[in-house]
Amino acid sequence: MLPARAAELETADLMGLAARLAIIFLGAILILRVRGILIGRLEETIRARSAGEDVAREKRAKTIGGVLRAGSRSVIFLIAALMGVRELGLDITPALAAAGGFGVAAGLGAQSLVRDWIAGFFIIHDDQYGVGDIVRVAGVAGTIEQLTLRHTELRDGDGSLHFIPNGEIKIVTNLTKSWAAPLIRVPIDAEEDPDRVLKILEIMARDFRADPATGALLVDGPNVLGIEDVGGGQFTVLIQARTRPENRHPATRALRLATIRRLQAEGVSLQAPPGGMAVGATGGPAPATVAAGLPGALASGGATSGGATSGPTSPGTPGAPAPGTSA
C-alpha cells in the first residue's frame, strides 16, 4: 500500500514539475510573441512619425527594431532558463552570487566591450547611420548590413564583410543621408568663347530640369556655377545639382550625358585634362576598395550628403584624388 502511494506521489510530483516547466516554456513563447508585436508597432510609429524621407525612416525603424529584438530575446531566454533551473530544485543563489563576482572581475577587463555598447547606443540614438546606409567608418567604406550595440557589420565594394567594434568608430561619413549634391566638372577647349559656353550650359540645365524624366531625379538645380580655373589649354566649368541620396548616381550620369550631347550639338570642343576623360566629377578622396562594388558605384561622382563631402573613388591609391570619369 505504501509503495503504491509513494509511486503515486512521485508521479504527481513529476507531472507537476513537467506542468510548471511547460508553463515557463509557453510563457516565454507568449512573451516573445508579445515582444514581436510591440516592436512591430514601434517600427510603424517610427516610420510614420520620424523626421526625414521615407527611406531614412525605414532604415531607422529597421535598425532600432533589430537591436531591440536581439537584446530582448537574450533577456527572455536567460530569465526562462533561470526559472526552469529553480523548478528543478537547484539553488541558483550561489550561482547568482558567483556570477556577480565574475561580472565585477570581467567588467575590469572588458572596458572595451562596455565602450562598444555605449558607442553603439549613441550611434542608434543620434541616428548616425542605419541598416542599408552607405558609410565610411574606421577607414572602411561600404554598405551597413547589420548594427548592434556591440558592433557594426559593413560590406565593402569587394564583397568583404567587416565587423567593426562600435568603440573603434570615431568619425562617421554617411554618404546616403538627407540629400546629395553631385558636382560635374566640364573641361572646355580654351579656344572656345566662355560666354557662349556658359549660355549653352545654362540652357541645357533649364531643359534638363524641365524634362519630366530627368527633373524627377532632382531636388534643386542643376546650376551652372561658372568657370573654376584656366590653364593647360582649357578652362573648367562647374555644374552642380541637388538630389535625394538614392538618385545621386542616376542624376549624375544623366547630367553628364546631357552636357556632352548639348556641347557636341553646338560644336563646342571638350578638352581632356592629362590622365583624365572629357567630363568628370570631383570631390574628396575615398577608399579605393569601394569603387568596384557599391550600389550605383560611388566612383560615379562626388556628393555632399548630410553636411559631409564625399567624392569619387578610383582603382588607384586610396586617399588620392580620383581623376574625372567619363559619362
Contact status, residue 295 vs residue 155, Cβ threshold 8 Å: no
Instruction: Report the C-alpha dihedral over residues 295, 299, 300, 303, rounded to 10 degrees.
Output: 90
pLDDT in tens, 131-176: 888 899 988 999 998 888 889 999 998 889 999 999 899 999 888 8
Domain final residue pick, 86, 109, 132: 109
DSSP tag of 320: S
Q: Where are the alpha helices (DSSP H) in the chain?
A: 2-49, 54-87, 93-109, 111-125, 194-210, 212-215, 248-265
| Same domain (yes/no): 168, 192 | no
Amino acid at 294: L
| Same domain (yes/no): 261, 215 | yes
Return the CATH number at 198: 3.30.70.100
| Same domain (yes/no): 220, 143 | no
| Same domain (yes/no): 125, 166 | yes
Calculate the average pLDDT of the chain.
Answer: 75
| Same domain (yes/no): 300, 208 | yes
Phi/psi for 316 (5° steps) reads -90, -155
- Which pLDDT does position 102 carry in this prediction? 57
* Position 11 confidence tier, pLDDT thresholds 50, 70, 90: confident
Give dist(CA 65, CA 63) in Å, integer. Answer: 5
Assigned C-alpha cell, 157: 565594394
| Same domain (yes/no): 127, 213 | no
| Same domain (yes/no): 133, 206 | no
pLDDT in tens, 256-268: 999 999 999 999 8
Average the pLDDT over 185-192 and give the result: 90
- Which pLDDT does position 14 carry in this prediction? 75
- Which pLDDT does position 308 carry in this prediction? 38
* Percent of the chain whose pLDDT exceeds 70: 71
| Same domain (yes/no): 193, 299 | yes
DSSP tag of 14: H
- Decide if 220 is inside a domain: yes
* Position 206 confidence tier, pLDDT thresholds 50, 70, 90: very high
Domain final residue pick, 109, 136, 159: 109
pLDDT in tens, 22-50: 888 888 889 888 888 888 888 888 777 76
| Same domain (yes/no): 99, 136 | no
| Same domain (yes/no): 93, 65 | yes
By three-state DSSP, how is residue 184 classified?
A: strand
Instruction: Give pTM, 2 decimals.
Output: 0.50
- Decide if 143 is inside a domain: yes
Of residues 235 and 6, which shows the higher confidence score?
A: 235
In DSSP notation, 200-211 reads: HHHHHHHHHHHS
- Which pLDDT does position 110 carry in this prediction? 65
Please classify residue 274 by burial: count the beta carbons closer than 10 Å to its beta carbon, then call 0-12 exposed, 13-18 middle and 19+ buried.
exposed
Domain final residue pick, 109, 132, 156: 109
Average the pLDDT over 304-318 and give the result: 38
- Decide if 321 is inside a domain: no
Of residues 286 and 265, which shows the higher confidence score?
A: 265
Contact status, residue 285 vs residue 139, Cβ threshold 8 Å: no
The residue assigned the cell 562600435 is: 166
By three-state DSSP, how is residue 214 classified?
A: helix
| Same domain (yes/no): 170, 189 | no
- Decide if 318 is inside a domain: no
Give dist(CA 224, CA 157) in Å, integer. Answer: 32
Return the CATH number at 15: 1.10.287
Return the CATH number at 128: 2.30.30.60
Question: Is pLDDT at 297 greater than 60 in this prediction?
Answer: no
- Decide if 324 is inside a domain: no
Give dist(CA 98, CA 200) in Å, integer. Answer: 79
- The number of domains in the chain is 3
Average the pLDDT over 280-293 and give the result: 37
- Decide if 326 is inside a domain: no
- Which pLDDT does position 19 carry in this prediction? 83
Which residues partner with 84 through β-bridges? none
Give me the domain span that covers residue 139. Answer: 120-174
Give dist(CA 324, CA 154) in Å, integer. Answer: 27
- Which pLDDT does position 305 carry in this prediction? 40
| Same domain (yes/no): 241, 155 | no
